[in-house]
Every structure is written in C-alpha cells, then in structure tokens.
C-alpha cells in the first residue's frame, strides 16, 4: 500500500529501543521543520507586519530563534556520542577521519549552495558566496569537537569538563569579536569572525552550543540508558530553567567579581546562556516524552535523519541560488500578508515532508535511472554513428556535389575530403 495515502498514526513506526536514542531524530525533525517555516516567513512576510507589539509575531520570532541553537547542540551531542562509542583512541578511531571529511564536506556544500551558475556563465561572482551560514559552522563544529577530544587525550581530565570550559569560554569571548573590526583579514576569513560582512553565523559564539552538546554526548556515551530515565531529563530541565532565569544575574555577579569590561555587553544582551537554557528545556522534554509515547512514525525519524538533504533543497528552492530564480524572486522579497504567508509556509513544509517520504524513489531516479538512460542513449548513438553515418555522409556529399557543379571549382575538392572521397 502507498504510505502517502495513510494518515500519520498508521504509518510504519520506529520501535523505541535503547540501541538508538530516538528522541534525537525527533528533535532534529522538529528543528528542521521549524527552520523551513521560519526561513519562509522571514523571507516573504512584509515589513509592515513585523511588529514587536504583535503577540503572534513575537511568539514566532522566539520559536524561530530556537532552531539554530538546537541544531548546533544536537550536532555536538550526536558526533561526540558516536566518536566515544567507538571506544578507541583518536589515532585508531574511524570516526575521526569520517568527522574531518564530513566537516570539510559541509564547508564545501555551504559554499556550493550559494553559487549562481547562470551568473558564473556571464562572469558574475556574487560576494554573497563567501558569507558563512549554518553548514559552515556545523562543519567547523565537527573539526573543533575532534580538537577538544585531542586536547583532553593529551592533557587528561574529564572530556565533559573540557567541553563545558570551551563552551563557556566561547560564549564569554563573543563581545571581543562583535566589538572589534576584522577588516585586516581577507574577506573569506573575516566572514567567520563577524556578521558585519553579511554572514548569518560566526564561529564565536555558535561553536559554543556544539561544545555544550558535546558534554551531553559524553554523558550519554557513558550511560546511554540515562536518556530513558526520569531523573536525567529532570536534571537537564533544572539546568535549563536555571540558565533561563538566572544567567543574567550570574553574568552581573561575574562582572562585579572580575570587572572585565566585555561582560556588560553580554548581560545587556543575554541571549546566549538564555538560549542555551531554552535548548536544555526543549531537549529534556523530548528526552522524557519520546520513550513514553510508544512507537514513533518512521517518517518523523526519517525527516530527522535527512536534515542536510532538506536544508539543501529548501535553500535552492526558496532563495533561487543555483538557477537565479526561486520562490523569493517569483513572489517578491518580504511582500506577503500574514495569512498568505502562513498558508504558503504550511505548503512549503508539507512539500518537503512529502519529498522526504519518497526520497528513496527520487534517489533511485536521480542516481540510477537517469545515469542508466544517459548511458543507454550514448551507446545507441555510437551504434547509430557506426552503422548509419558513413551512408548518410555519402548521401550528403552526393547532394553537395550536384549543387556545386555550378559553384566555384575550389569547393568541390573540399566536399570530397569531408566526405572521405580523396580518390575518384
């Protein structure tokens, strides 16, 4: 039976077992779907409706702001968990090479998604290609997590402690990067340090979320069954609430203790530790609820495992990068009213869900059927060329010889050479 015709509750399900921490895939599915609607609304909702006085817009902005922190934190959790589950030192750990390759691959994909191929044909190179986005930072996060594991292996100590130290340190030094200019660096590198050039994300502070996720990954690699208890999600919830409600005061106290002049920048715009608290709260809710729901529809976990595919597809379709034409160009940047935007976002999200539901069929068509068809047509053209081209060439030459009898005499030998008739 075609699964596309089944309601969600009747779709094939993923059993909840302790060999795979399913809540991570569900959390990633939630985050990627929120990203889809968030990017759609942010790109197309008209400026006149973006008011802080609107409760709906404020709620949407808050939820949208959760997406990137969740992605970076889950990246650190998953990669560190898998790296440590291998059990071998870094030199013999297959996850190290795989992580480094994956990190470089994501950096390359981040740049590739911004390329306007028709523009390149006409010699146009947009500076926007150099801007840093989510994929660049996730790629760097994998490399940075391996580096921290290497430092811990070299110097000793608890990996969780190292991850938390790097996470806190990355957050605390954020004002150093935001309050200074980086014009002295080449543009391609400056994008990783400042948003002034048009980048959406920078290494600092966003790598910090991955480090905190790495600390959680370390804990679950030691005792993965903790994810299925009551107390561990409750502890994570307590950390989240503490950071949400108390991080501002903690930063103020730290400033009074140290007098470090960058700290007022942090507590006057306390979004990093505040957002981290929200991430911990969301993770604790998913961690506690998912094992108690029962079986999870496979489509949901499938969406969570295909985040890169969804991200790449939505980027090209919404922003029109590869072809220069996308939804934002056809509809008009920030031109829609709220109701039209809500309906459009729902359709946009639904289309990507159906895309992932049938991703195997699409991949089979793209990676197997199309290459097979091209190969077959190429072989048929070779056969046709060998069988029919000599005869066709003779016919063409005969016709031209007849026509050239009244034409300049120097053209006739040329036709004979092209036809292969060097001798009468």
pLDDT for 19 = 43
Measured CA distances, 179 to 75, 174, 176, 182 (Å): 28, 9, 6, 10
114: which 2 tokens? 């911004």
Element (H, E) at 32: helix 22-44
Q: How far apart are CA 236 and CA 216, in angstroms?
A: 10
Torsion of CA 362, 368, 369, 371, to 10 degrees: 120
Q: How many CB atoms lie within 10 A of CB 410?
A: 8
Buried/exposed 373-403: b ≥16 CB within 10 Å, e otherwise: eeeeeeeeeeeeeeeeeeeeeeeebeebeee
pLDDT for 87 = 85
pLDDT for 52 = 84
Among residues 240, 345, 346, 223, the alpha carbon closest in space to that of 286 is found at 240
pLDDT for 424 = 46
Q: How far apart are CA 183 and CA 176, in angstroms?
A: 14
Among residues 306, 325, 318, 323, the alpha carbon closest in space to that of 344 is found at 318
Q: How far apart are CA 173 and CA 178, in angstroms?
A: 9
pLDDT for 376 = 92
pLDDT for 418 = 58
pLDDT for 6 = 37
pLDDT for 393 = 79
109: which 2 tokens? 């994909």
Q: How far apart are CA 393 and CA 82, in angstroms?
A: 64
pLDDT for 14 = 53
3-state helix/strand/coil string of 219-239? HHHHCHHHHHCCHHHHHHHHH
Please tell me the pTM assigned to this model: 0.87
Q: How far apart are CA 334 and CA 2, in angstroms?
A: 38
**What contacts 152, CB < 8 A, 6 or more positions away?**
158, 159, 162
223: which 2 tokens? 């005792």
- Write the DSSP assignment of 29-88 as a string of letters: HHHHHHHHHHHHHHHHB-GGG--TT-HHHHHHHHHHTTHHHHHHHHHHHHHHHHHHHT-S
Element (H, E) at 14: strand 13-14
Cis peptide before 288 (omega within 30 of 0): no
From first to last of its 424 residues, the chain has per-residue pLDDT tens of 344 333 333 445 554 444 457 899 999 999 999 999 999 999 999 999 998 888 999 999 999 999 999 999 999 999 999 999 888 889 999 999 999 999 999 999 999 999 999 888 888 888 889 999 999 999 999 999 999 999 999 999 999 999 999 999 999 999 999 999 998 999 999 999 999 999 999 999 999 999 999 999 999 999 989 999 999 999 999 999 999 999 999 999 999 999 999 999 999 999 999 999 999 999 999 999 998 887 889 999 999 999 999 999 999 999 999 998 999 999 999 999 999 999 999 999 999 999 999 999 999 998 999 999 999 999 999 998 888 888 887 787 777 666 656 555 555 566 566 555 544 4
Q: Do residues 363 and 75 touch, judged by C-beta distance below 8 A?
A: no
Strands (E), 265-313: 296-297
């Amino acid at each position: 039976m075609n699964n596309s015709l089944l309601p969600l509750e009747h779709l094939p399900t993923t059993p909840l077992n302790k060999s795979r921490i399913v809540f991570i895939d569900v959390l990633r599915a939630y985050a990627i779907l929120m990203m889809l609607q968030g990017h759609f609304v942010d790109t197309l909702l008209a400026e006149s409706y973006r008011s802080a006085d609107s409760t709906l817009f404020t709620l949407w902005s808050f939820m949208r702001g959760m997406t990137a922190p969740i992605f970076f934190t889950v990246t650190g959790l998953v990669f560190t968990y898998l790296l440590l589950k291998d059990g071998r030192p870094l030199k013999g750990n297959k996850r190290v090479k795989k992580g480094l390759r994956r990190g470089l691959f994501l950096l390359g994909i981040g740049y590739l998604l911004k390329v306007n191929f028709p523009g390149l044909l006409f010699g146009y190179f947009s500076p926007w290609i150099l801007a840093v986005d989510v994929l660049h930072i996730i790629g760097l996060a994998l490399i940075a997590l391996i580096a921290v594991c290497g430092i811990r292996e070299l110097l000793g100590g608890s990996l969780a402690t190292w991850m938390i130290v790097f996470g806190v340190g990355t957050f605390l030094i954020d004002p150093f990067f935001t309050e200074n200019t980086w014009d002295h660096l080449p543009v391609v590198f400056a994008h990783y340090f400042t948003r002034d050039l048009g980048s959406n994300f920078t290494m600092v502070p966003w790598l910090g979320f991955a480090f905190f996720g790495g600390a959680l990954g370390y804990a679950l690699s030691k005792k993965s069954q903790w994810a299925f208890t009551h107390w561990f999600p409750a502890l994570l919830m307590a950390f989240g609430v503490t950071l949400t409600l108390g991080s501002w005061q903690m930063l103020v106290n730290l400033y009074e203790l140290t007098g470090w002049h960058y700290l007022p920048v942090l507590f006057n715009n306390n979004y990093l530790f505040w957002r981290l608290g929200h991430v911990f709260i969301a993770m604790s809710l998913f961690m506690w609820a998912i094992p108690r729901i029962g079986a999870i529809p496979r489509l949901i976990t499938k969406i969570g495992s295909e985040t890169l595919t969804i991200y790449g597809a939505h980027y090209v379709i919404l922003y029109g990068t590869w072809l220069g034409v996308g939804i934002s160009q056809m509809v008009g940047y920030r031109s829609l009213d709220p109701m039209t935007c809500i309906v459009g976002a729902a359709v946009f999200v639904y289309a990507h869900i159906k895309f992932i539901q049938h991703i195997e069929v699409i991949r089979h068509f793209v990676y197997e059927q199309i290459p097979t068809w091209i190969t077959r047509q190429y072989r048929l053209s070779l056969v046709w060329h060998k069988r029919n081209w000599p005869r066709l060439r003779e016919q063409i030459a005969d016709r031209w010889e007849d026509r050239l009898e009244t034409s300049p005499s120097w053209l006739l030998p040329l036709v004979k050479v092209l036809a292969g008739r060097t001798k009468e």
